[in-house]
Amino acid sequence: MMDREDQYRELDSPLSLTAQQIDFYNQNGYIKLKHVLSPELLEDYRRVITECVAELSADAVPMEKRSTYGKAFLQVMNLWTQSERVKEFVFGKRLARIASDLMGATGVRIYHDQALYKEAGGGITPWHADQYYWPVASDKMVTAWIPLQDTPLEMGPLAFCEKSHRFQIGRDLEISDESEITLKQALSTFKLEESAFDLGEVSFHGGWTFHRAGANTTDRPREVMTIIYMDEDMRLVKPKNKNQIADSERWCPGIEIGGVVASSLNPIIYSTKSAQPLHGNQLDTSSKEEIFADVGLPQGN
C-alpha cells in the first residue's frame, strides 16, 4: 500500500511526452495514454472521490424521471473545494504538465473538475464538444478523463471522433438528443476511436473535439474523475449563449471580460514561468458554496 509521500511523488512527478505523442494530439484532437497513474494510487483516491459523490448526489432525481442527458451519469463539480484529499489529486502536477505540453502552453490553470459517475443502467452521453460551454478567448483548453476502474466497452468509455476539432458543424449545439442525432450523421465520415480503458490509462481531449460515450450495461457504476485545464494566460470573453453565461458566473467569479481567468477557483497548477504552490495545502477550501451536484448540468462525458 502506498503511503502519502509516495502518492504525492507520483501525483507531482513529471511524465514526459514524446514529440510523436504531442503531434498525435494536435492532429487528432485527443490522445489516450497508458500507465499515467498507478492502480494503487487510483484505488485509494477512488474511495475518497466516490464517498464525496455519494454524499453530494444523495438527492439526485430518480433515473426514470431524468432526460436523456440526465440519465447519462451523476455529475458533481469542483470536488476539490470540498475535500482536501480530492484537492491533492486535482492539484497534481503530473496531469497538469501533460495538459500544458499537449497544448504548447507555458502552464495551466484549473477551469474546474467534475466527477462523472455513469450508474449501472445509465444511458448514453450524446455527441457534443465541450468548448460550446466555455466563455474563453482561445481553444487552449484540455480535459483529462481519468477512469477509476478498468472500463470495458460495456461500461460506456469515452469515444472520440478523430480530427473533429477542426469541424465547424455542430459547434452551436448543447449536449442533447438533438446533438446526438445531428452529429451522428454529420460525423459519419470521420474515424471513431472507441475502445476500453485500462486502469491507469488517461485520455486528454481538446475543447472542440467531438466525443460521446455509450450506455453502461453492467451492474456497477462507471466511475470517472475529470479535470479541465486551460492556458495559464486564458482570458474571459463575452458569453455567446446562456450556458457560457452560467459558466462565467460559476467558474470565473469576479473576472471582467478581457481579464485573465485568475479567480480563486482558477489557480495555476503547473507553470514554467511562475511560482507554483505547495501540493495539497495552498488554498483555503473552508468555503463550500462553489460546489455543484446535478444529474442535468451540461458539459459531461
**Domains of the chain (ranges plus CATH)?**
4-232+265-284 (2.60.120.620)
**3-state percent helix, strand, coil for the chain, nearest multiple of 5:** 30, 25, 45
Query: How far apart, in whole angstroms, are the C-alpha atoms of residue 7 and residue 11?
Result: 6
pLDDT given for residue 273 in this prediction: 86
- Tell me how far CA of residue 285 lies from CA of 54, 80, 165, 259, in angstroms: 20, 8, 35, 24
pLDDT given for residue 113 in this prediction: 98
Half-sphere exposure of 206 (CA within 13 A, CB side): 24
Sign of the dihedral defined by the CA atoms of residues 206, 207, 209, 211, in that order: positive
Averaged in consecutive runs of 10 residues, what is the pLDDT profile of the chain (301 residues)?
A: 91 96 98 98 97 82 50 80 96 98 98 95 92 98 98 97 95 89 92 97 98 96 97 98 97 98 97 69 38 41 63
pLDDT given for residue 274 in this prediction: 73
Q: DSSP letter string over 47-63?
A: HHHHHHHHHHTTTPPPG
- Tell me how far CA of residue 270 lies from CA of 207, 226, 229, in angstroms: 19, 17, 10
Q: Among 43, 234, 59, 221, which Cα is nearest to 138's?
A: 234
- Cβ(118)–Cβ(72) under 8 Å? yes
- 3-class DSSP state of 176: coil
pLDDT given for residue 81 in this prediction: 96
Phi, psi of 123 (to 5 degrees): -80, -170
Q: Which residue has the cell 489557480?
A: 267
Pairing verdict, β 211-213 and 158-161: antiparallel
Phi, psi of 98 (to 5 degrees): -60, -45
